[in-house]
Amino acid sequence: MVFTLKRLGLALLVALAVSMLSFTLLHLSGDPASAIAGEGATDVDIAAIRAYYGFDRPLIVQYADWLFKALRGDFGESYYFQLPVAQLIGDRLSITMTLGVCGISFALLTAVPLGVAAAVRPNSLIDRVALFISVMGQAMPSFWFGLVLVVIFSIKFQLLPPSGTKSWENFIMPTVVLGYYAMPAIMRLTRAGMLDVLSADYVRTARAKGAGEMRVMFKHALRNAIIPVVSLSAVQMGFMLGGSIVVESIFALHGAGYLAWESIGRNDLPTVQALILIFSLFYIVFTFLSDLLNAWLDPRMRVG
Amino acid sequence: MAKTIETVEAALSGPTPGQVLRGRIFGHRGLMLGGIVLLVIFVVAILAPLIAPHDPYAQNIMARMQPPVWHDRGTWDHPLGTDHLGRDYLSRLLYGARISLLIGGFAALISGLIGTFMGVAAGYFGGKIDNIVTFVINVRLAMPVVLVALAIVAVFGGSLEVVILVLGFLLWDRFAVVMRSSTQQLRSMEYVNAARAIGCSTRRIIFSEIMPNILNNLIVVVTLEMAHAILLEAALSFLGLGVQPPTPSWGLMVSEGKKMLLFEPWLITIPGIALFVLVLAINLMGDGLRDVSAPENRN
Amino acid sequence: MKTVLTGASLFALTMLAAATPALAGKSDDTLNIAFTKELENIDGYFNSAREGVIMQRTVWDSLLYRDPETGEYKGNLATDWKWVDDVTLDFTLRQGVKFHNGADFTADDVVYTVNWVADPSHGVKTQRNVNWMKSAEKLGPYKVRLHLKAPFPAAFEYLSGPVPIYPHKYYAEVGPSGMGQHPVGTGPYKVVSVDPGKHFVLEKFDGYFKDSPKGQPKIGHLDIRTIPDVNTQAAELFSGGLDWIWQVPADQAESLKALDQFTVANESTMRIGYLDMDAAGQTGKDNPMTKLKVRQAINYAIDREALVKVMLKGKSKVVNAACFPSQFGCTDDVTKYPYDPAKAKELLAEAGYPDGFSVDFYAYRDREYAEAIMGYLNAVGINTNFKFLQYSALRELRMSQGVPMSFQTWGSYSINDVSAITSEFFKLGSLDSAHDEQVKEWLDTADSSIDPEKRKEYYKKALQRIADEAYWAPLFSYNSNYVFTRDLEFTPTTDAIPRFFQMSWK
């Protein structure tokens, strides 16, 4: 209980620090009034906007104002859309989260079997193939991979729609691109974990007792090897949500990542600010949960 | 007695640690391949002014987007064709190696300094310092890198310096994490305790006892982060917020060629492959170094 | 390596050739359209985007309509109008017009709309569209009087464009954000669904008034999606997910045309590109840009013919004066600076820079044009330090401390009058880098006169002086490429406002 509370407190502090840092960074650009006014606004327009939004106040006052409102779930109004940021983000977040869940599932469903197979037969063909796939994945720029998929599957064979969110088919290519980004790390960790566990005493004992190979693999080995993979996946999931900007922009998925990119270009600070906070909250929540999970699985860690 | 001498002799005539290491390095195919490719790219980067057939900045808009030599319309004057302003693509590619290496190298250097300092301090001193550093690492990890990098570059305008600084200040987390745990392991080692017992200064312990022993881990992280920084710069450039033209950066070349992807794919294929090969080489080297420096942890 | 590359490019090309557009929108009477930019609010008073202008013409009507072919003003919601004096305009309104929500259009709607938007506290985004109007007054159920703040010769131009009329009861109830989410107008299309910034679905308005100068809408549905990446747009076009895309960059339009599967149309737009130079010395009293010979040298250094020919292509033209040629008051009778790098170097030497100099060069869009311009400047010895900023950041910088030189563009909001460009930038405002009192005086005279000949005369004086002093380096006019399915009948116009209500299936 104390452990949980301590972790929770820490997580909240991290969120606070992130919000403060990003608020300061975003306001370094100076006065956002002319950005809001848009191309072709007159000086009068800009002065009116400056007064309306209170950009003339000290930064710390603006931050405090933002923070107290944010705590009540009010992230202000988008400079660009003139709509509440919460509403704007709400429907876009579901797209990004769908993408994130699909991406991590794809990564796990390919990485874990490959990792296990590679660990069972080290230096075999399958091990080399797995290594090759992971090395490729680490070196291939994801925007390039995405564009190549579009050319092949949308233009040449017309199997998949190149953009949009109309049906589940729209999510196939983005899922593969995003998932491939997270896959190498998970595969390597699975393989390493399995190798460790397979040489551990209890697995040898189980083997010696004549347990079937399958049973050894899944009941004894994988269950233990998967623990670090779970927490890595949580971390990767957090990264992926923040990193889906490129994928969303290629496939015109109007998710939170794409909104973030566009909002940066438009200097729509309330939206960017809220999105940075939300993406970091994802990370914080996922790692918090995986901390708890690990502590539950392995009581020795509760001390930390 | 004779037996003991034999053993000692055998031990003496065996390979020295250096020989063992050399043997491992040359026996590791990935490491060799990665190392050679990286060396070639490095030499190309240095010799770019000597081997580039044209000035990479000289534009001739009347000869824009000429295809590479293997195309029907290609000529040997521009072996890899020309870009959207009629600049020689091969020359820009050669000069671009400098930019990518510069970005990867300096970003890794900055983040390495920050991360190592924080990690070693946390690992060695523990206690409050460790708590603070762990907290800062957590804050950093919680910040979405691409998003924050884009926001900062948007504020300061993209330039080589800004991109290097942004990446350097964002990518130190892995250094800090790895250095912290490596230092923690070493701190309780007997020789460190011994050094402390004979009254060595903290500075001396850190620089002559700890640092040399975490160096191999550090090098592995350096390679990872170099690759990471190079890919991230390409992604920033792709999104339009990377280094600025007319700098011949590979990321920028991809982004400039992107709009003709469906029609002149070589414009992005060529720098894309260059990026891929460079990152692949760095990664192979990193993997190889990890295997070689700690074969017992090989995975 | 070589074979891989050849393979890759052949692969892509054959693929494009093999792809046949499937499922075009004609079969279900829906035109699938892509916007590149997210539209912040469909309410035209609260966005400043070109996409917003298009939506505004599609969903709403203004009092007047300017025929894009002839340039003639026709009655749209008004049937008759006349000047009472310099600052008063009377309108007779059309009867029997209905809004999409069933409400009747009357004088109350005009009075409410004008009075509401003219009030600066309501924060209409583009103030210059509305701030010339003082108020509106109801003279009868279908009679309205418009009061101007000062004589405003371009009034018809604005009344036929960015001043759409809203249903007064509904707008009073829901305001701009409600209007943005559930738009109601009198226009040829009504909005069925809005997903802000992402997706708009429009449907033909069956009750659209019969004698509208816009004509009757013909296509049943318009489905508008935001797709930021041009490659993705083209991919959608190939796979039949889109029927109509626009603002296609020149190179891609050319390649698409070569494939011979779609109609590619090109039309010039009112946007011009120019170099703005710090002649007034805002960045430093003795900076090179303050010297006439340097500014002239820069004008001579750039091969604008070549830029137009190989980069902008289409119907773009070289521009010599600080305005778009079709605009009222614009003239080509100014000092011209043909491409002459030798002369440019000579002038630089005379100005005291025989070895050239270094300068910060800013831009906010069309990076490749800016790059090409840099190449020309470098060739005569002007070393440029390139800075590419967001529009807002660059504007902020220009207002606060100025920049020595920047690549700017201006589209005049498709207002066919010099007051929308020259007067915008040469009347000592915060974006005026020339600060020439004489030019301002002439422009003031021209702006406030309602005698067309006098306006022309004074605009010409101002434009000639701007060219003599080389305050700007005017470069070229832009053009827009439209690529669409061959089933569609569509002719683009020079105001770059595609009119969906005039499109039809073949």
Q: List pLDDT tens digits, range B237-256.
A: 878 778 877 888 888 888 88
| Range of weakest confidence among A84-88, B10-14, B181-185 | B10-14
CATH C-level class of C37-224: alpha beta
Q: CA C493 to CA C478: how far, in whole Å?
A: 13
What was the pLDDT predicted at B198?
A: 84
B246 preceded by cis ω (within 30°)?
yes
Confidence tier at A130 by pLDDT (50, 70, 90)? confident
What was the pLDDT predicted at C1?
A: 40
What was the pLDDT predicted at A42?
A: 65
Q: Does B76 touch chain C (CB under 8 A)?
A: no
Tell me the sheet residues that pair with C266.
Answer: C481
Q: Do C306 and B62 touch (CB under 8 A)?
A: yes
| Range of weakest confidence among A212-216, B67-71, C58-62 | A212-216
Residues in chain C closer than 8 A to A40 (CB atoms):
48, 126, 128, 410, 413
Q: Does B148 touch chain A (CB under 8 A)?
A: yes
Instruction: Name the average pLDDT for chain B.
Output: 83
**C468: closest CA of chain B, how far (Å):** 29
pLDDT higher than threshold 70 for residue B289: yes
What was the pLDDT predicted at A168?
A: 81
| Range of weakest confidence among A39-53, A91-105, B133-147 | A39-53
Q: Do B266 and C5 touch (CB under 8 A)?
A: yes
Q: Which of C2, C6, C9 to mutate to test the interface with B (most CBs of B within 10 A)?
A: C9
Neighbours of chain A (3+ CB pairs under 8 A): B, C
Confidence tier at A243 by pLDDT (50, 70, 90)? low
Q: Do A267 and C46 touch (CB under 8 A)?
A: no
Smallest Cα–Cα separation from C420: which of C495, C492, C476, C470?
A: C495
Q: Which of C5, C231, C303, C309 to mutate to test the interface with B (most CBs of B within 10 A)?
A: C5
Residue C473 CB neighbours (<10 A):
25
Q: Do B135 and A191 touch (CB under 8 A)?
A: no
Domain boundaries, chain C: 37-224, 268-479
Q: What is the pLDDT along chain C (506 residues), one digit of tens a residue?
A: 444 444 444 444 444 444 444 455 788 899 999 998 888 788 888 877 788 889 999 999 999 998 888 888 999 999 999 999 989 999 999 999 999 999 999 999 999 999 999 988 887 877 888 989 999 999 999 999 999 998 888 889 889 988 999 999 999 999 888 898 899 999 999 999 998 878 899 999 999 999 899 999 999 999 999 888 788 888 888 888 899 999 999 988 998 898 888 999 999 989 999 999 999 988 888 899 999 999 999 999 999 999 999 999 999 999 999 999 989 899 999 999 999 999 999 999 999 999 999 999 999 888 889 999 999 999 999 999 888 877 777 887 888 788 999 999 998 877 888 988 999 899 988 889 999 999 999 999 998 887 889 999 999 999 999 999 999 999 999 999 999 999 999 999 888 889 999 999 98
Q: Does B165 touch chain A (CB under 8 A)?
A: no
Residue type, C167: P
Q: Does B206 touch chain A (CB under 8 A)?
A: no
CATH classification number, B22-52+86-293, choose in 1.10.150.130, 3.40.50.280, 1.10.3720.10, 1.10.10.10: 1.10.3720.10
Q: Do C19 and A162 touch (CB under 8 A)?
A: no
What was the pLDDT predicted at C5?
A: 43
Question: Is A188 or A298 the better-scoring residue by pLDDT?
Answer: A188
DSSP state letters, A17-77: HHHHHHHHHHHTT--THHHHH-TT--HHHHHHHHHHHTTTS-HHHHHHHHHHHHHTT---B
Confidence tier at A154 by pLDDT (50, 70, 90)? confident
Confidence tier at A38 by pLDDT (50, 70, 90)? low
pLDDT higher than threshold 70 for residue B90: yes
pLDDT in tens, B124-166: 888 899 999 989 998 988 888 888 888 888 777 778 888 999 9
Q: CA B171 to CA A277: how far, in whole Å?
A: 19
Q: CA A199 to CA C336: how far, in whole Å?
A: 83
Question: Is A5 or C97 the better-scoring residue by pLDDT?
Answer: C97
Mean per-residue pLDDT, A256-262: 87
The 3-state DSSP class for residue A295 equals helix
**C387: closest CA of chain B, how far (Å):** 7
Q: CA B88 to CA B68: how far, in whole Å?
A: 10
Q: CA A145 to CA A177: how far, in whole Å?
A: 7
Confidence tier at B262 by pLDDT (50, 70, 90)? confident
φ/ψ (deg, to 5) at C177: -75, -35
- Architecture, CATH, for domain C268-479: Roll (3.10)
Instruction: Name the average pLDDT for chain A.
Output: 80
Confidence tier at A78 by pLDDT (50, 70, 90)? confident
What was the pLDDT predicted at B107?
A: 94
Q: CA B37 to CA B30: how far, in whole Å?
A: 11
Q: Within 13 A of B191's CA, how many CA atoms are on the CB side?
A: 8
Chain centroid to CA A45: 39
For B144, the closest of A13, A155, A276 (CB atoms) is A276
What was the pLDDT predicted at B7?
A: 54
DSSP state letters, C375-400: HHHHHTTEEEEEEE--HHHHHHHHHH
Q: Cα separations (Å) of C179 from A38, A69, B129, C441?
A: 20, 26, 56, 41
DSSP state of B87: -
Residue C226 CB neighbours (<10 A):
22
What was the pLDDT predicted at A39?
A: 57
**B201: closest CA of chain A, how far (Å):** 29
What was the pLDDT predicted at B281?
A: 92
Helix axes A269-297, A223-243, angle to 10 degrees: 180
